[in-house]
Amino acid sequence: MKYETVTCSINKSIVRKLNQINREQNHLKERESEMGSVQPAQIPTSFGHELRACLRCRLVKTYDQFRESGCENCPFFKMEEDFDRVADCTTPNFNGIISVTDPTRSWAAKWLRLGRFVPGVYTLAVSEVLSEDLRNLCEDEQVQYVPPKRV
Ligand SMILES: [Zn+2]
């Protein structure tokens, strides 16, 4: 009787440990797939005067990068198809930049409302507003556009 109780408690602790290991592994796997599924934005290739920020998501890249591959957060702007769009959707006037590697877990990214955007380089604030046409486009695409507070 005593013997049985001892093996039973050993088994229980082993089972508990195994469950714990399983949980940890699952958590790691989830984390990997989370990271794997998010395709980060391009990093600016230079930090000169040609840098521009997207007026909707505030992603910062060079003019050429926006012209060649558009904005990773706002593909519906189709900047890569129409060069004029780059000028309409982005601005060279912005203050301060922040690099975000994991927007879902960064308090700074959440505070700056970047939580739903892809990892990349962002500016803290833009002062220009999207044109009415482009605001309507956002509405049609059912994506949120938050205009800057100070205009
Ligand atoms: Zn954008």
Q: Are 148 and 113 in contact (CB under 8 A)?
A: no
Cα-to-centroid distance, 61 and ligand 1 (Å): 10
pLDDT of residue 28 exceeding 80: no
Instruction: Say which residues have a Cβ less than 8 Å from residue 81's Cβ, sequence separation at least 6.
Output: 70
Ligand 1 centroid to 33 CA: how many Å?
Answer: 24
Q: List, as ranges, residues with CB under 5 A of the ion ligand 1.
A: 54, 56-57, 59, 71, 73-74
Tell me, in angstroms, the distance from the centre of ligand 1 to residue 84's CA: 15
Q: What is the pLDDT of residues 44-91, one digit of tens each?
A: 988 777 899 999 999 999 999 999 999 999 999 999 999 999 999 999
Whether the model clears a pTM of 0.85, i.e. scores above it, the answer is no
- The Å distance, Cα 2 to ligand 1 centre, comes to 68
d(CA 16, CA 10): 10
pLDDT at 11 over 80: no
Q: Is the pLDDT of residue 10 over 90?
A: no
Which domains can be identified in the chain, with CATH numbers? 51-140 (3.30.40.210)
Dist. CA 50 → ligand 1 center (Å): 17
Residue 16 binned pLDDT confidence (cut-offs 50, 70, 90): confident
